[in-house]
Structures are given as structure tokens and as C-alpha cells.
Amino acid sequence: MNQTNDRKKQKRLYLVNRDFQMRYAGAAVVVGLLSTALTTTLILFPLYQFEILRIPRFLPLPVMVIMGMAAVINVALVGLLAIFITHKIAGPMYSLVRHFRSVEEGGVWTGNMRLRDGDDLRYVVRNFNGMMDAITSRLHADLAVLDEISQDIQGNELNAEEKLEKTLQAVNDLGSDIRSRLPKGDANPIAS
């Protein structure tokens, strides 16, 4: 109960990735302004052309004020909506980058990355989780081979020469397996 109240008290941060979100919010505002101008023109031009509106050369001040207010409200709503929508993308991007950095720095993979309700990029996160699960499985398999090598070295059933031969073969097999997973052309820093 206490944790739920703490979560409710936390300030929700909508600008997770300011550059990304402001770039797309700005683009949405420009599109909104252009849309408003185009709509206004398409509505007013025929009214003037067919003399349905008989107004002097300029629109009366109250009409101009209302149109200006409508444009400002339109820009504000489009901007806020753009920030809200980009938040659903920027949040998962931020979380993915945080996980990338953790793995890059040798951090421990603690399990699947989770998304909030309504977040986008589910496909990317699902594939990231799958990739990390596959890497974790391969690491467990490699550790099992190393454990087996360790047990073979410590075992008493083989003589020293047989232990060495079996150990070298297991190490070579493990090395070949690991090399096969590396991109072609990657230099081996240990061998050089």
C-alpha cells in the first residue's frame, strides 16, 4: 500500500528524451499550423469569392481574435498531444539505452525488460529480451563446459597426460564455438 502511494506521489516526467520529443512535437506543431492555415483559407476563400461574406478588405477584429485564439489553442493542443505520444516512444527508448549501457559495462542481466501500459516499441523490446535470453543461455552453456573441464582436471580417474589432452580438446572446442559466434573478421585480441 505504501509503495503504491509513493508511486502516485512521484512526479511523472513526460520529457524523457527532450531532443527527440521536442523535434517531433515541433514538427507536429508546424503541421498543425499549416493545417489550420489551409483549413481557414479553404473555408474563407470560397465565402469571399462567392460574396457570401461581405466584409471589408480585412476581417473584423473579433473574428481575427477568435481565429488567433483558435490557432493558439490548436498549437497548444497539438504540442501537448505530441509530447504525450512521443513519451510513449521515448520512455522505452530510454529504458532500452539504459539496459544497453548496463550490458555494455558488464552489468548483470536481471531478466526481461518491462514496459508500461500503453508504451510503444513492444516489438523492439520483445526482440531485445529474446536476444538477451539467448546470450544468457549461451553463457550458461559455456559455463557448463568450463565446469566440466574443471571437474575433469580435478578428477582422479585419468592420468596427467590424458587429463591434459582432454582439457585441451575441450578448451579448443569451446574456443571454436565462441569464435563461430563472433562476426567474421573480428580480430582475436588474445591471439595477437
Question: Residue 168's closest CA among 151, 190, 149?
Answer: 149
pTM (2 d.p.): 0.59
Could you tell me if 83 and 133 lie in one domain? no
* Contact yes or no for 75/33 (Cβ under 8 A): yes
What single letter denotes the amino acid at residue 49? Q
User: Residue 98 domain-assigned?
Assistant: yes
What single letter denotes the amino acid at residue 165? E
User: Residue 3 domain-assigned?
Assistant: no
User: Residue 96 domain-assigned?
Assistant: yes
pLDDT tens, position by position, 75-109: 889 888 888 888 888 888 888 888 888 888 876 66
**For residue 3, pLDDT beyond 60:** no
Could you tell me if 101 and 147 lie in one domain? no
**For residue 26, pLDDT beyond 70:** yes
**For residue 110, pLDDT beyond 50:** yes
DSSP 8-state code for residue 106: T
Could you tell me if 61 and 143 lie in one domain? no
Question: Residue 66's closest CA among 46, 42, 38, 36?
Answer: 36
Q: What's the domain range around 26?
A: 13-109
- Average predicted confidence (pLDDT) for the chain: 78
Could you tell me if 83 and 24 lie in one domain? yes
Could you tell me if 55 and 126 lie in one domain? no
For residues 192 and 113, the model is more confident at: 113
Q: What is the mean pLDDT of residues 66-73?
A: 85
> What is the helix (H) or strand (E) element at residue 136, kind and residue range?
helix 122-154
Could you tell me if 73 and 161 lie in one domain? no
Q: Distance between the two ends of the chain, CA-based, in angstroms?
A: 58
